[in-house]
Amino acid sequence: MRKTGIVVPCYNESKRIHTDSFLAALDKEPNLSFLFVNDGSTDDTLSVLCGIREKNRERVDVLSLEANCGKAEAVRRGMLKLTDGPFDNVGYWDADLATPLEAIGEFCSILDATDVTVVIGSRIRLLGRNVERNPLRHYVGRIFATCASLLIEMVVYDTQCGAKIFKNSAPLRKVFGKPFRVNWTFDVEMLARFPLVMGCPPSRACSQWYEYPLQEWIDVKGSKVRLKDFVIGGLEFCTLFILLHTPARKRYVDYLLASD
């Protein structure tokens, strides 16, 4: 594995953070680092994260946001910090470890050995794989994913899986350079930004992306995602449609490419 940094966004996760799992992953892989982003938690999350950092200060960092900004902004702030660092690969991972940390090595093996620039975890129930999802959320999610693919003009099976790793690059820094206009569906907006900042059709922008069928994904109890969030997602799709498919697109591209 080349030098890899992973953002782990955390909001009130003190009871769900598997400290030993993160430390064991660092012991197993010397080129791996974690950046935990405390998104204005009101419980003991920050203390737990600082405890992990104390056990491996060289490869664990904590970015603490004073107020809760939402997952989109927490991930964006963390990704900006990592893309400015010495990492070949950067990505983000859900704190509940619904996707086991072992998959990081599998993702990076693809990035390091091929021309692939983006690896996206995909929760597909296949023989020989242990993918457990709430049935209702699964079927609602399939409708969501189909709409997302049509919206961004890319065939992506699972935009919402919280496990993604990228090769560090100038386009990636542009993608995360400006705050997202949506929150719950920020993954969709993030993917849609690549062709906009690269100045190419969506089909070309995603030609070196790879969806990795996860060996294991467990629907962890205590998830903050509720069915009402899919309704919010539908409303956010309307925002994204305006940004991507109306005259507002030009203004949005200028926003993404503008220097700070």
pLDDT of residue 134: 76
Segment 113-159, tens digit of pLDDT:
999 999 999 998 888 899 987 777 778 878 888 999 999 999 999 99
The pLDDT tens digits of the residues spanning 72-104 come to 999 999 999 999 999 999 999 999 999 999 999
Distance CA 236, CA 233 (A): 5
Instruction: Look up residue 32 and give its two tokens.
Output: 């791996």
Range of the domain at 59: 4-257
How many structural domains is the chain composed of?
1
Model confidence, pTM: 0.94
Task: Give the pLDDT of residue 24.
Answer: 98
Contact 34, 62 (CB under 8 A): no
Torsion of CA 94, 185, 260, 79, to 10 degrees: 10
Please report how many Cα atoms fall inside a 13 Å half-sphere around the Cα of residue 18, on the Cβ side: 15
pLDDT digit string, tens, across residues 9-19:
999 999 999 99
Residue 209 bridge partners (DSSP): 118
Report the alpha-carbon distance of residue 232 to residue 90 in Å, rounded: 28
Residue of higher predicted confidence among 217 and 231: 217
pLDDT value for 141? 78
Q: Write the pLDDT tens digit of every residue in 32-81.
A: 999 999 999 999 999 999 999 999 999 999 999 999 999 999 999 999 99
Residues 6+ apart with CB under 8 A from 124: 131, 157, 158, 213, 214
Kindly report the CATH number assigned to the domain that includes residue 130.
3.90.550.10
**pLDDT class of 223 with cuts at 50, 70, 90:** low
* Cβ atoms of 210 and 113 closer than 8 Å: no
